[in-house]
Amino acid sequence: MTESSHSLRTFVAYVEDRPGVLNRIASLFRRRNYNIVSLNVGRTHEAGISRMTFQMEADDDMARRIEANLYKMVHVLSVEDITNTQSVIRDLALIKVRVGPERRAEVLQILSVFRAHAVDLGTETLTVEITGKQEKIDGLVATLRPFGIVEMVQTGTVAMTRGNQGAAARAAHTEDASGIAAA
Amino acid sequence: MEDAAKKLETQPQTTPKTLTGSEILWDTLVNQGVEVVFGYPGGAIMPAYDAMIKYPVRHVLVRHEQGAAHMADGYARASGKVGVCIATSGPGATNLVTGLANAMLDSIPMVAITGQVASGLLGSDAFQETDITGVSLPITKHNIMVTRPEEICQALKEAFYIASSGRPGPVVVDITKDAQQKSCEYVYDPSPVRLPGYRPDYHPIDKDIARAIDLIHSAERPVLFCGHGVIQSNATQELLELVEKTQIPVACTLLGLGGFPATHKRALGMMGMHGEAWVNRAIQEADLLIAVGMRFDDRVTGNLKTYAPGAKKIHIELDPAEINKNVHVDLPLVGDARQILQQILPHVKSCKIQPWLDYIEDLKGETAVIEIQHLPDHGKLYAAHVIHDLWRYTDGKALVVTDVGQHQMWEAQYYKHDHPRKLVTSGGLGTMGFALPAAIGAKFACPDDDVWVIAGDGGFQMTAAELTTCAQEGIKVNVAIINNGYLGMVRQWQQFFYGGRYVATPMKSPDFVKLADAHGLLGLRVTERAQVKAAVERARAHEGSVVIDFRVEQEDAVYPMVPAGADLHDMIRRPQSHNPIYETGEDE
Ligand SMILES: Cc1ncc(C[n+]2csc(CCOP(=O)(O)OP(=O)(O)O)c2C)c(N)n1
Ligand SMILES: [Mg+2]
């Protein structure tokens, strides 16, 4: 076993949209001791097919085995490690900030710097929506924290590679290959 | 069962008929070529049992569902076909769990059918409701729950396909009671299963095959590894040809035994924790390892950091998730072992490795002085001698099913298997209690074989109730109990690593001769080596099942032994003294 360094990896998988599929995948991760950093599942434009984006810390060998183990699952249609592919990677967060009318303008100005926007207004609070990479969200949270954060929710990361080809098409190309290059 | 008149004609039908889910179940099994199922009835599977009588499938009533799973497993290992077991919901299903885990770790094609509470009751903690698809998720290759009769045929077809293709494994099909009872229009659809997300076939690229051939030709100290995958992909002939052409010596994993003829001059024997000393040393000194169908389990590698440090490694393996899992390899060839060997074979030439072969012969010679088969027994009965004699008096042709413990390792060392599928043993899970039920399954797969169980006194008692199954089914297996009065393998670890404190390992057993007698079977006892031959011959000649209680030396140990996690060349050897057998206790 090589002891090469772990880094954050992003994977995209297409899975059949059936009851229990997420449980199977989560069970695999737990059994193989893979630690998920973030996980997102949602429908796609094709009926019956869901798309997952997940991130975990792994080295090269481990990343390849994660892919291979997932690929063995009957309901997993394709898996791709897009870590080293140019991609759009996004998270969405909703943040409820404690802010009354007197300091609202100040907060709205901060939001414009982060290209976030207000989506709800209460007498004592303001709810912010932001999309972007994790670092950007972290930056906004840090800036808003002095005002007082009432609650916050964040989706898992979603990712899509840049360029013309879709993940399904790329996976289909490698259908017959084990994805393993000789050392 | 005998009532043949009740059996349906099983001609292929083309016009849809209205059948119950239970009838569809059996019709599908018959269409999959199933001849025997091992099982135990109960409430949630009763509709299926009720319909079974109409179909030409033999049912073997077990005494515990774990036995049913091991029987299906033994049947699959001996035949290469999918083994089938069936149980009710709740406790019936959970009793299968050990057998499923066993089949999973050894990649055995098996389908387990379980009854489930009616679909309307699912999730309500109904009587005998267990979420068996949830429970079995991590110990099956796949599982499927069925709640409608319309889905039964497709689910079973998928189960058989998934269980037997790619890297094989167990599949559970959980069928609710109402799905078994309700009817629907049905006609068997023989077309192959299509699963878009399941593509188990891989093929290496030509460039890598060429590289493998180059590596083989340039090696000076190569060793071939024969793993379970050689047997499962029916690659034994190809492996033999490769060895005949190249003269490269072959070491086997426990589950690879029989994949290469043990009496062949290039056969080294078993590798790993209880592998022969010269095998492990050859591996450590090799410059090329060609591993075929094996997964570098910790029991075969020892300390990974010092494992075969000077060897380039070619890994021929069907499952890409096994590549670089434990041992980093230089050239992975992912695909079916047989196909890959066929691709390599035409291009290999004989290798110039005579000095290496001579060197290994010398290593073997060094070991001979402490080899128990060459040592006098001083009137004692040693397990290793019993197994050696068993090999001789069965002409090396028995189908041997072993349990787990010292006797299993002695069998692996001293029963020389020349043919595949003639050794059935629990490798990955090391499941005590496996042998007797697995042997019953193997006997159904190979009714003309001389089937022998070799079990310890401990493991035998875990599933001894299946002796009654032998009696009821009228089948013959010969059971050799290597009775040392201990949970011997654990006692050996206590002797070596726990200061000789024998905690919870001395074990009392029933009188096994009387136990056989109580089942209406023949029981024999052997206490001296001179009696072994007669007992083996008597057992073979006897019509029904036989139990032989071999009262062997109680505190012998399996040598050599690589302690868990130690370097592979770091072996505990049989002590060399005038009294050849390691004595413990008194003289310490
Ligand atoms: C179900 C199960 N429980 C416990 C063990 C741990 N174990 C491995 S070998 C062994 C002793 C086996 O004793 P016996 O069957 O008498 O065989 P022997 O080693 O004496 O030949 C035990 C307890 C196991 N492998 N399986
Ligand atoms: Mg014992």
Is residue A59 situated within a structural domain? yes
CB B300 within 8 A of CB B272: yes
Q: A40 with A101, same domain?
A: no
Q: What is the mean pLDDT of residues A126-148?
A: 96
What pLDDT score was predicted for residue A165? 77
Q: A123 with A139, same domain?
A: yes
A46 touches chain B (CB under 8 A): no
d(CA A92, CA B504): 58
Q: A79 with A110, same domain?
A: no
Is residue A171 situated within a structural domain? no
The correct answer on CATH 3.40.50.280 for the domain covering B206-366 is no
What pLDDT score was predicted for residue B13? 61
| Model ipTM value | 0.86
CATH of the domain at A118: 3.30.70.1150
What pLDDT score was predicted for residue A80? 93
Residue among B151, B157, B160, B177 flagged as catalytic: B177
Q: Name which residue sits closest to atom 20 of ligand 1, judged by CA.
A: B488
Interface test with B, best of A4, A73, A78, A180 (most B CBs within 10 A): A180
Residue among B46, B54, B128, B247 flagged as catalytic: B128
- The structural domain count of chain A equals 2
Catalytic residue at B65? yes
CA of B172 to the centre of ligand 2 (A): 33
Q: A110 with A63, same domain?
A: no
Note down the domain range covering A154: 88-158
Q: Which residue of B has its CA nearest to A19?
A: B145
Nearest to A182 among B198, B332, B335 (CB): B332
Cβ separation B324–A64 shorter than 8 A? yes
CA of B556 to the centre of ligand 2 (A): 11
What pLDDT score was predicted for residue B577? 60
Residue A19: CB atoms within 10 Å:
7
Helix, strand, coil share (%) of chain A residues, nearest 5 = 30, 40, 30
Cβ separation A180–B332 shorter than 8 A? yes
Q: Please list the residues that pair with A93 across neighbouring strands.
A: A130, A154
Catalytic residue at B270? no
Is residue A173 situated within a structural domain? no
CA distance, residue B376 to nearest chain A CA (Å): 45
B387: three-class secondary structure by DSSP: helix
Q: A136 with A109, same domain?
A: yes
Cβ separation A77–B197 shorter than 8 A? yes
CATH of the domain at A32: 3.30.70.260
Q: A16 with A73, same domain?
A: yes
Quick check: A170 pLDDT over 60?
no
Whether B55 lines ligand 1, by a CB cut-off of 6 Å, is no
Q: A12 with A79, same domain?
A: yes
- Tens digit of each residue's pLDDT, chain B (588 residues): 444 444 444 555 678 999 999 999 999 999 999 999 999 999 999 999 999 999 999 999 999 999 999 999 999 999 999 999 999 999 999 999 999 999 999 999 999 999 999 999 999 999 999 999 999 999 999 999 999 999 999 999 999 999 999 999 999 999 999 999 999 999 999 999 999 999 998 999 999 999 999 999 999 999 999 999 999 999 999 999 999 999 999 999 999 999 999 999 999 999 999 999 999 999 999 999 999 999 999 999 999 999 999 999 999 999 999 999 999 999 999 999 999 999 999 999 999 999 999 999 999 888 877 788 888 888 899 999 999 999 999 999 999 999 999 999 999 999 999 999 999 999 999 999 999 999 999 999 999 999 999 999 999 999 999 999 999 999 999 999 999 999 999 999 999 999 999 999 999 999 999 999 999 999 999 999 999 999 999 999 999 999 999 999 999 999 999 999 999 999 999 887 644 444 333 333
Q: A72 with A98, same domain?
A: no
d(CA A58, CA B267): 40
Phi, psi torsion values for B443, nearest 5 degrees: -65, -35
Q: What is the mean pLDDT of residues A119-123?
A: 95
Cβ separation B197–A72 shorter than 8 A? no
CB B478 within 8 A of CB B539: yes
Q: How far is CA B395 from CA B255, B368, B398, B423, B480, in A?
A: 21, 23, 8, 14, 16
Residues 154-183 of A with CB under 8 A from B: 175-180, 182-183
Whether B384 lines ligand 1, by a CB cut-off of 6 Å, is no
Percent of chain A with pLDDT over 90: 83
B211 touches chain A (CB under 8 A): yes
Catalytic residue at B127? yes
Instruction: Indicate the residue type of B315.
Output: H
pLDDT confidence of A174, banded at 50, 70, 90? very low
Is residue A101 situated within a structural domain? yes
Is residue A35 situated within a structural domain? yes
What's the burial of B4, exposed, middle or buried (CB within 10 Å: 0-12/13-18/19+)? exposed
pLDDT confidence of A171, banded at 50, 70, 90? low
CA distance, residue B338 to nearest chain A CA (Å): 17
CA distance, residue B190 to nearest chain A CA (Å): 21
Task: Locate CATH 3.40.50.1220 in chain B.
Answer: 206-366
Domain B372-567 adopts which CATH fold?
A: Rossmann fold (3.40.50)
Q: What is the mean pLDDT of residues A143-169?
A: 90
d(CA B342, CA B333): 13
Superfamily of domain B4-186: Thiamin diphosphate (ThDP)-binding fold, Pyr/PP domains (3.40.50.970)
Q: How far is CA B311 from CA A109, B228, B321, B330, in A?
A: 65, 22, 22, 9
Closest atom of ligand 1 to B461 CA is: 15
Is residue A170 situated within a structural domain? no
Could you tell me the end-to-end alpha-carbon distance of chain B, in angstroms, rounded to an integer? 61
Q: How far is CA B329 from CA A47, A138, B88, B340, B498, in A?
A: 41, 41, 45, 17, 36
Task: Locate CATH 3.40.50.970 in chain B.
Answer: 4-186, 372-567
Q: What is the mean pLDDT of residues A121-143?
A: 96
A71 touches chain B (CB under 8 A): yes
Q: What is the mean pLDDT of residues A58-71?
A: 93
What pLDDT score was predicted for residue A5? 82
pTM score of the predicted model: 0.93
